[in-house]
Structures are given as structure tokens and as C-alpha cells.
Structure 1
Amino acid sequence: MSLPNMISTLFGHEKPSIIADSEDFLRECKHLGFNTANISDLANLPKNSIVFSFSNDAAKMTFELAKNTKNKKSVFCATQVFEPTVASALYSLKLLLSSNFENALCTQRSVLNMLNSNESFFLAGNDADARVTVFPHAQPYALLAEDVSHNFVQSVAEFFEVHYAHMNPQEPCPFSFSGTLKVAGILTVLRKPNSTLPEGLKTSLKWLSDRISEEDTFLSIEDNTVTSLKIKNEDHIKLLDLAAGPRGLKLTEFAIGVNEAIAQNIDYKINSQMNEGISGAHLAIGDGSSGYHIDFLSPAVTVTPINQRLPQQL
């Protein structure tokens, strides 16, 4: 999607400024023709902005500035919890600018209607063979056009997926998933250092991510529990179990991605938040705090209803 079309969808025909806490990144964005500002120099957010935070302090500052800004439309990219490098941020910006926001928001509405109107679904395509059931208490999260028609500060990921999350282990999971997915890439997130986790996990997960991007990889799940992650018949489930921490191999997310436009430009070796919006499906384990949150991305998968949900009796 060209920048003018992105602007018309989100920013009312006014070009956004790019805000960050990395001068090197801002310098590159200036070369691309953007107005830029270091977040530490601001008292308010610009009316229209795309924010890249390279540190937790910058992320906190973003939302503090938002509180003090009456009129704001802002897309927030939490670079620091994925891969806080200039190269990764520029890659994410490239995918963001090539995304079709209008189509993504429209598709989210269609997916939301499908999920709310049915209870069981087949997953097929790209070697997928799986089934998911969503329970009556389930509340899918979707971002719709009306949510960004006025003031907003939204994480970039929310524009490109409809998802169910299970972050509180004391509450019942909103879905039940069983089957097999072919995985093209993973994302890993740890929001702050955790001394209870084994050393070297970040390096091991980077190695695993590179392997998955290069080799056919299959993820198997039985009743919301990952049972294997195989690359050339080598199972890497022990690494996943260690990395996810106390939540272990239990699923914490089921999502449907809607960003068709990035398929030709995606690089699964880069730990970018933009990757998880790829059109298809993804699952996750871990919560990102007690252990790593690990997304398993399966592009080109279709989710099809099995049967219509019966109206609830009054």
C-alpha cells in the first residue's frame, strides 16, 4: 500500500511524523522524507504519528505524552520487546508502509463476524490439519474502522489480527485447539529480564528461528498443549518448554492474521512485530513475563466454520 493511501485510511490526508528514541533510526527516516522527532524532546504527541520505542522508558513516555495530548492518532511499534535495532525497525517500517490498512480493518470485521457466529472451525491450506472450538465466554479482540476514526493510540499488531488470548492461567481458556500446522517463522518476546529462566535462551531461540525460516517445520497440538515442533524429524519441544517458563507448552493465544499485502516482503528471520499479522493463523505459548511469549506463524491457512452456533436461549 502506498503512503498516500495509508494516510487517507488512518490520518485524514495528513502525513504522520515518525517519533523514536533512536537518533540513528530517525536519521534514516529523514532520508525517507519523514518529519521526525526524538520522543525525549516532546511535551505532546504530534496530531499524527508513528512511534518506534527502542526502550521501555520510551514506551512509557509514549503513553504519558498521549495522556497530555488531546488530539492524536498514533500507531505504536514496541520495538524494544522484539529486536531493538535500526535494521529491524526499518524493516518493520517498510512492511507497515506496504500494508493495506483499509483492507485489513475490513477483513477483521468479516473474521470477527465469522467467529461470533460459529463455534467450531477447520484449519486447512499450507499443510494445516487442525480444528479449533471457541467457547461461549470467549471474547475475540478485533480492531475496526470506527476504533481509529477519532483519537487513538494503537499497537501496530492490532491492525492486522483477530485474536483470543489466555494470559491468566486461573481463568478458563477461551478456545480449544488440536491438530498440526506448518510453521514458517516464530516471534519471541520477553518484556523484561527474568533471572529464573535458563541462560542462553535468547541465543537458542534465535538459532531455532533461523532453522524454522529455512526448513519445513511442523507444530503439533493436542487439546491446547504443544506436543512437538519438528524440523527434519528433530523435535525441539524441550527448548520451547524451557523458554515458555511456568506456562510451559499450554497455548496462550490463537489468532487469525489479515495482512495479505506483506506476504512477498516478509523475512521470518527478523523478530519483527509486523510478521505476526501475516494472512493465515498463528498460535502462541508463554506470557512474555514469566517466560518467553513465542508465536508460531502459519501463513496461507484458511479458517472455515464447521457448524453454525445455535442462538442462546433466553
Structure 2
Amino acid sequence: MSTTISIPSLFGDEEFWVLADSIPFLDECSQRGLNAADINEVKQLPLNSVIFSFSNSAAKLTLALAQSTQKKRSVFCATQVFEPSLHCANYSLSLLLNSDFQEALKRQRVVLNMLNSNYLFLLTGDGSTGQMALSPKAEPYALIAEDVSGYFIHSVAEFFEVHYAHMNPEEACPFSFNGVLEVSGVLTVLRKPNPILPKDIGMRLGLLSDKIFEKGGLLVVVDNEVKSLRVDNREYMELLTVAAGARGLRLTEFAIGVNSEIKPLIDYKMNSQLNEGIDGVHLAIGDGSSGYHIDFLSPAVSVTPIV
């Protein structure tokens, strides 16, 4: 059937398809008036698509289909490494449908120009304060309108944040951060099971996320290393140290979010990739392989150059 819902800021008035490897999720998409198809049954990607992978095999299939499909405009949501539940996928889809992709790309350009024109920045807002300095060779990751003017497949997160990553510990970090940030939510990512981690570590991180949603958290970072995370007068450094794996408490990411439209809808209890695009900043520790990649979301924090 023809879809009655469109994403004009991304696909214009053209129809799009939701692809996934979860039949219950696809059934609910159909009930919402969306074109929906099992990714395991398609031979190539539709011209316009939003893809939710609930398993690593579906993620690999997505990449294979993307390589064999020349004409495609696809948004990829790697649900399996966040929370592959029906509830979380429906929540993520709702945020996606309420996002203004073109406006987010314009905001990324503004942020990109600011970062490329300065090297020292002040972070303030809602009790937070900090400074971030960039190395001369720092290169931010960002999407702008030119990047989606033709055919593409991009992770949904790329549309809504400008970020610096430091995933290789042998290389110099492109940014240096010191400060105290109020934290409204966290996200956790583990790309594959790691038998070295405690069996209950995922559950404990989930409880931490719920507690931060209820009480808020206070994150202290000194010279790119987390020194404290206090929530309701309790310290969580031991949990973070165990969960983060080999990279420990050293920062692996600094990002500025640009998705203002999801602010009224966001639920920080949900471990959804869409959450990290919220306005403000987020810092992260961990590499997602030897341990969890953990994002600390501070939506009330603004970044201004120190001239």
C-alpha cells in the first residue's frame, strides 16, 4: 500500500520504506500507515528507506545490499547494539519521524564553521561549566547538505551531531576537556558480547540510566579522564571502570547535538541511538568492544568560542 506518512525534510514527498528483521515491528509500521518490508526478503534497497537492524546478521545484510544497490537514500538504525526491543524501536521511529533532517544539516554546518574557526571553547548551562580545546589537526565528523545531495546510506546518528572521536589510544586525542557537567541521560553500546565483563553489567548500567533520569547526575572530567559520576549522592566510578573495558575512563568522544525537534519527546530511560542527537553536548568513554561505549548526555549545555 502507498504510505500516508512522509519525511519531507529527507525524502521530499517521495514514498519511503521501513526495512527491518523484526516482523512485529514491521506489523506495527504497517498499522501506522508506513510501507514496511522484511530486509531478509528484498533483493535490493528501495530508493528511499529507513532500516532497523535487530541483529548483527541484519546489519551485515544491510551493508551488502547497500553495496549492490546504486540508487539509494537510506538511513540506518543499528538497533541491535543499543536495545533491540519492539518498544525501543517504536520510540526511535517516532523520534525519527518528528526530526527535521534538513534543519539539522544546516545546524551542523553552523557548528562545523564554529569549530573550524576556533580552538578554545567554553561550556556553560544548567550548573555545568567546562573548557574544551582542539588540537591543530582535529577533524570533526559532520554531515552537511552536500553529503546527502546524491545517493547515500548513513547511520541515523550522523544526521544529528558533530563529533570528535578518539578510538585509537595510540594516537593523540583531537580534543582536551576539563569541566563539570550536569547529565540528564546515558546511552550504552556493546557491539558484541564480551565474556570478560561481569554478567550483570548491562543490568547495572540500566539501573544507572534510570537513576540519572530520575535524579540527574554530575560528571567531573579532568584532562580528558572521568574522575567522578555522582547520582543522588552516590558515586559510580567503580561501575564505570568495570563497564568501560580496556579504554578505562579516558574520553573517547566529544559531540555537539543539533536535533532540537525531539526535545519535547525524548525519554532518557530509552537506550535509543536517536537520543544522542539532542541539543547540547555529550561525552563518552569506552570503545564498545572491550567494554561498553557510554555516552553522557548534557542537553542544557551550550558551546561558545573563547576568542
TM surpasses 0.5: yes
* 1:82-135 residue CA offsets vs partner (Å, 9 max, x unmatched): 000111000000000111111110000000000000000000112111000011
Asked if residue 206 in structure 1 is aligned to residue 206 in structure 2, the reply is: yes
- In the aligned structure 1, how far is the partner of 2:104 from the partner of 2:15? 20
Shift of 1:3: 5.2
Aligned partner of 2:127 in structure 1 is 127
Is contact 1:126-1:299 (8 Å) kept? no
* 1:175-229 residue CA offsets vs partner (Å, 9 max, x unmatched): 0000000000000000000111122100100000000000031000000000000
Shift of 1:244: 0.2
What secondary structure, in the 3-state scheme, does the structure 1 residue paired with 2:141 have? coil
Aligned partner of 1:170 in structure 2 is 170
* 1:8-31 residue CA offsets vs partner (Å, 9 max, x unmatched): x32242121000000000000000
- In the aligned structure 1, how far is the partner of 2:61 from the partner of 2:83? 19
Q: State the one-letter code of the partner of 2:271.
A: N
Write out aligned runs for 1:137-152 (5 A): 137-152=137-152
Aligned partner of 1:38 in structure 2 is 38
Write out aligned runs for 1:1-314 (5 A): 4=6, 6-7=7-8, 9-307=9-307
Is contact 1:141-1:164 (8 Å) kept? yes
- In the aligned structure 2, how far is the partner of 1:66 from the partner of 1:12? 21
- Give the aligned CA root-mean-square deviation in angstroms: 1.0
Is contact 2:17-2:48 (8 Å) kept? yes
- In the aligned structure 2, how far is the partner of 1:151 from the partner of 1:64? 16
Q: State the one-letter code of the partner of 1:252.
A: T
- In the aligned structure 1, how far is the partner of 2:170 from the partner of 2:195? 24
Identity of aligned residues (%): 60
- In the aligned structure 2, how far is the partner of 1:12 from the partner of 1:85? 29
CA gap 1:3/1:183 in 2 versus in 1, 3 angstroms: farther
* 1:24-79 residue CA offsets vs partner (Å, 9 max, x unmatched): 00000000111111011011000100000000000010010011111000000000
Is contact 2:5-2:34 (8 Å) kept? no
Q: State the one-letter code of the partner of 1:301.
A: V
Is contact 2:185-2:216 (8 Å) kept? no
- In the aligned structure 2, how far is the partner of 1:163 from the partner of 1:3? 31
Is contact 2:5-2:33 (8 Å) kept? no
Aligned partner of 1:312 in structure 2 is none
- In the aligned structure 1, how far is the partner of 2:49 from the partner of 2:116? 33
- In the aligned structure 2, how far is the partner of 1:273 from the partner of 1:264? 17
Shift of 1:231: 1.1
- In the aligned structure 2, how far is the partner of 1:266 from the partner of 1:254? 21
What secondary structure, in the 3-state scheme, does the structure 1 residue paired with 2:306 have? strand
* Unaligned residue ranges in structure 2 (runs of 5+): none
Is contact 2:167-2:252 (8 Å) kept? yes
Is contact 2:244-2:290 (8 Å) kept? yes
Q: Name the TM-score, length of structure 2 as normaliser.
A: 0.97
- In the aligned structure 1, how far is the partner of 2:183 from the partner of 2:100? 24
- In the aligned structure 2, how far is the partner of 1:11 from the partner of 1:100? 11
What secondary structure, in the 3-state scheme, does the structure 1 residue paired with 2:230 have? strand
What secondary structure, in the 3-state scheme, does the structure 1 residue paired with 2:119 have? strand
- In the aligned structure 2, how far is the partner of 1:162 from the partner of 1:60? 25
Shift of 1:139: 0.6
What secondary structure, in the 3-state scheme, does the structure 2 residue paired with 1:33 have? coil
- In the aligned structure 2, how far is the partner of 1:33 from the partner of 1:257? 30
- In the aligned structure 1, how far is the partner of 2:126 from the partner of 2:104? 21
- In the aligned structure 1, how far is the partner of 2:265 from the partner of 2:127? 22
Q: State the one-letter code of the partner of 2:182.
A: K
* Unaligned residue ranges in structure 1 (runs of 5+): 308-314
